[in-house]
């Protein structure tokens, strides 16, 4: 009995050929032959092909295993023969062609080495990693004061340039104000509204040109300072490795002698209220944490503080010592959904970042550009998934989701999402978490599931996984007070944030094994002292630790 079928599969990218599969089996005294043309190499599933043959020809059950074994063996042998034939044809074509055999061999060898781990070259450390190791060694050596003095000298130069910029911009604004007053006096007499608008446009263009000019000079100065600083640090480290080198002490003295320059720029000193607490959290194994309630402006943790006894020397030794360590400091900055540094608290933060050169990390604008690219990529992936779900779904639900996705600006982030920036030129902060919030945080009915609260939870989780042991959190989820923020509003909001952060801190034990941390709760500078102390009394009540009760009995 002769059985036949024709099996066609999708041809591969290279040349394929059709082979006839022959399978002999007996049913009683009768010999049967099954034939099936198969395209080699096969691109489908052999198991599926086996099932189709059994079902199509109504084959008996006892031949199922033999058929499957023969089918696998036939396809394997024919595939190998087909590959050998293709390889021989390629070699013959290579022999008869004019191509350089040596170049092909080198290309194949290179590809093999790059794709095989055994032959791959070890990954070389980057410049940033080398500089980080060198700086870490020097900042923990006697040369630490020299490094800080050198950074201070650069800071003074930047401060002088900023003072010149502010002075020139102030003069321009005063001159433009006088010109505008004269124009307004002539309005309706010899000049029209169009003339006034023309003068205002000229003033705006002149101011933009001047600001761009100073921004370019400031950027160029910081670039030069960063290059000089890194080269000097590397050279100093190399000299210190040589015990017979006597120029190290002379270099240190020269740098220290240059730190006598003073600056006239003075920051306003503000009164600081602070309360500190020590708590223990955990179910079985309790972990000690430090809590602080601080009344200050959020940017006070970024600005360089001045010491009146030592002039304008930067007080940032502790921040420099922990720059490349497992004890980093973080700050939560509440921002809107746009990723830029052009308005509001973001502009003020960028201004503080520009007051001193960052010798270790890119400028804040460059970091924000990278974040923007990541957000755009994530938004594109999200839209792609939404479209795929909309195509699979039927009815109005899919159309509504598609319309909502289309309304969202792909370059913006949602409330509760955040991005991070790294800094080495801030006073007390290494990492800044830019948490997106909306006007909903000013209402009095937010819950523990609010996006801002969940954003704090995710930030604390990042702190656990990235060695950030000190984090500053805006307690009221705002940086400035407004009229609707009454005493009951503040107490209710503080209680919510305290309880949520306490729960998040108890989760930390499973995230990082119970590392001791410092959490600073920040309240706006404009809050009253009475309100501050009410919040201070609330904190130990919420973060209370249950004590052991000892019972005694009298006999």
pLDDT confidence band for 496 (50 / 70 / 90)? very high
Same domain, 329 and 457: yes
Say which range, 37-46, 212-221, 381-390, 401-410, has the weakest mean pLDDT.
401-410
* 486/409: higher pLDDT: 486
Say which range, 227-241, 379-393, 402-416, has the weakest mean pLDDT.
402-416
**Does 162 fall in a domain?**
yes
Examine the pLDDT at 150 and tell me if it is beyond 60: yes
Prediction pTM value: 0.71
Domain boundary among 97, 119, 151: 97
The pLDDT of residue 246:
59
Q: Within a 10 A sphere around the Cβ of 147, how many other Cβ atoms?
A: 22
The pLDDT of residue 423:
94
**Does 372 fall in a domain?**
no
Same domain, 300 and 225: no
The pLDDT of residue 516:
86
Same domain, 174 and 250: yes
Question: How many Å apart are CA 55 and CA 43, to the nearest integer?
Answer: 21
Domain boundary among 257, 288, 316: 257
Examine the pLDDT at 310 and tell me if it is beyond 50: no
The sheet carrying 418-422 orders its strands as 273-281, 287-295, 518-523, 468-474, 328-335, 431-436, 418-422
**Per-residue 3-state assignment (H helix, E strand, C coil) for 156-200:** HHHHHHHHHHHHHHHHHHHHHHHHHHHHHHCECCCECHHHHHHHH
The pLDDT of residue 17:
79
Q: Give the CATH number, domain containing residue 454.
A: 3.40.220.10
The radius of gyration computed from the CA coordinates of the chain, to the nearest angstrom, equals 36
The pLDDT of residue 262:
41
- Is the Cβ–Cβ distance between 522 and 296 less than 8 Å? yes
**Does 555 fall in a domain?**
no
- Per the DSSP assignment, residues forming a β-bridge with 36 are 21
* 269/329: higher pLDDT: 329
* 259/225: higher pLDDT: 225
Q: What's the number of domains the chain is made of?
A: 3
**Does 386 fall in a domain?**
no
Helices (H), 340-408: 344-353, 364-392, 396-407
**What confidence tens digit (pLDDT) does each residue in 219-256 have?**
999 999 999 999 899 988 888 887 666 555 555 554 55
Domain boundary among 257, 291, 316: 257
Region 88-95: mean pLDDT is: 79
Instruction: Give, for 3, the enclosing helix (H) or strand (E).
Output: strand 2-4
Same domain, 493 and 522: yes
Question: How many Å apart are CA 30 and CA 396, to the nearest integer?
Answer: 62
**Does 395 fall in a domain?**
no
Helices (H), 57-143: 64-96, 101-115, 127-139
Same domain, 420 and 531: yes
Examine the pLDDT at 1 and tell me if it is beyond 70: no
Same domain, 442 and 336: yes
Same domain, 14 and 53: yes
Same domain, 307 and 202: no
The pLDDT of residue 518:
92
* 126/549: higher pLDDT: 126
Same domain, 74 and 217: no
The pLDDT of residue 342:
84
Tokens of 247: 């120029």
Same domain, 212 and 292: no
pLDDT confidence band for 106 (50 / 70 / 90)? confident
Nearest Cα neighbor of 36 from 74, 70, 66, 6 is 6
Torsion of CA 77, 82, 83, 85, to 10 degrees: 120
The pLDDT of residue 305:
67
Same domain, 91 and 140: no
Report angle CA 154, 216, 164 to the nearest 5 degrees: 60
Examine the pLDDT at 486 and tell me if it is beyond 70: yes
Residue 59 sits in which domain range? 2-97
Same domain, 356 and 496: yes
DSSP per-residue string spanning 32-77: EEEEEEEEES--S-HHHHHHHHHHHTT--GGGHHHHHHHHHHHHHH
Average pLDDT, rounded, for the chain: 82
The pLDDT of residue 11:
42
CB burial string 220-247: b at 16+ within 10 A, e below: ebbeebbeebbeebbebbebbeeeeeee
**Does 325 fall in a domain?**
yes
* 164/270: higher pLDDT: 164
**What confidence tens digit (pLDDT) does each residue in 313-323 have?**
446 788 888 89
Region 396-416: mean pLDDT is: 65
Of the chain, the percentage scoring pLDDT greater than 90 comes to: 34
**Does 439 fall in a domain?**
yes
Tokens of 352: 């503080």
**Does 113 fall in a domain?**
no
């Amino acid at each position: 009995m002769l059985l036949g079928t024709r099996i066609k599969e999708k041809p591969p990218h290279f040349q394929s050929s059709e082979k006839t599969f022959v399978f002999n089996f007996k049913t009683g005294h009768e010999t049967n032959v099954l034939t099936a043309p198969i395209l080699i190499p096969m691109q489908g599933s052999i198991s599926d092909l086996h099932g189709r043959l059994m079902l199509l020809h109504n084959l008996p059950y006892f031949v199922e295993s033999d058929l499957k074994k023969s089918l696998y063996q036939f396809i394997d042998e024919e595939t190998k023969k087909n590959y050998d034939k293709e390889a021989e044809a390629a070699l013959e074509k290579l022999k008869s062609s004019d191509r350089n055999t040596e170049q092909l061999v080198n290309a194949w060898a290179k590809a093999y080495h790059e794709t095989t781990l055994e032959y791959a070259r070890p990954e070389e450390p980057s410049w940033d990693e080398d500089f980080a190791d060198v700086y870490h060694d020097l900042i923990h050596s006697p040369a630490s004061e020299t490094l800080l003095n050198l950074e201070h000298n650069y800071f003074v130069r930047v401060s002088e340039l900023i003072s010149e910029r502010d002075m020139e911009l102030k003069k321009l604004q005063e001159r433009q104000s006088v010109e505008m007053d004269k124009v307004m006096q002539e309005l309706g007499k010899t000049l029209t509204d169009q003339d006034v608008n023309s003068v205002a446009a000229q003033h705006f263009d002149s101011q933009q040109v001047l600001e761009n000019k100073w921004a370019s000079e400031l950027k160029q100065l910081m670039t030069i300072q960063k290059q000089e600083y890194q080269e000097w640090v590397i050279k100093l480290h190399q000299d210190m490795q040589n015990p017979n080198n006597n120029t190290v002490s002379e270099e240190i003295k020269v740098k220290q002698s240059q730190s006598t320059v003073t600056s006239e720029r003075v920051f306003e000193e503000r009164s600081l209220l602070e309360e500190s607490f020590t708590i223990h959290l955990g179910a079985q194994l309790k972990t000690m944490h430090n809590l602080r309630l601080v009344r200050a402006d959020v940017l006070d943790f970024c600005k360089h503080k001045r010491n009146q006894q030592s002039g304008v020397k930067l007080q940032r030794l502790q921040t420099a010592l922990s720059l490349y360590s497992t004890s980093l400091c973080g700050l939560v900055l509440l921002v809107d959904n746009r990723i830029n540094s052009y308005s509001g608290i973001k502009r003020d933060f960028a201004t503080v970042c520009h007051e001193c050169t960052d010798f270790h990390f890119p400028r804040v604008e460059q970091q924000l550009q990278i974040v923007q690219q990541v957000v755009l990529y994530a938004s594109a992936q999200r839209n792609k998934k939404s479209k795929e779900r909309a195509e699979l779904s039927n009815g109005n639900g899919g159309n509504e989701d598609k319309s909502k996705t289309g309304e969202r600006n792909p370059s913006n982030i949602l409330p509760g999402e955040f991005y991070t920036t790294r800094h080495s030129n801030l006073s007390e902060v290494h990492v800044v978490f830019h948490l997106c919030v909306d006007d909903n945080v000013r209402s009095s009915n937010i819950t523990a599931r609010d996006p801002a609260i969940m954003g704090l939870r995710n930030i604390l989780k990042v702190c656990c996984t990235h060695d950030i042991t000190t984090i500053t959190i805006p307690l009221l989820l705002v940086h400035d007070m407004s009229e609707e923020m009454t005493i009951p509003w503040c107490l209710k909001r503080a209680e919510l944030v305290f309880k949520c952060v306490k729960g998040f801190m108890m989760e930390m034990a499973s995230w990082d094994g119970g590392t001791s941390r410092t959490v600073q709760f920040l309240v706006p500078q404009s809050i009253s002292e009475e309100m501050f102390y009410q919040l201070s009394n609330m904190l130990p009540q919420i973060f209370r630790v249950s004590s052991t009760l000892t019972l005694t009995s009298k006999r």
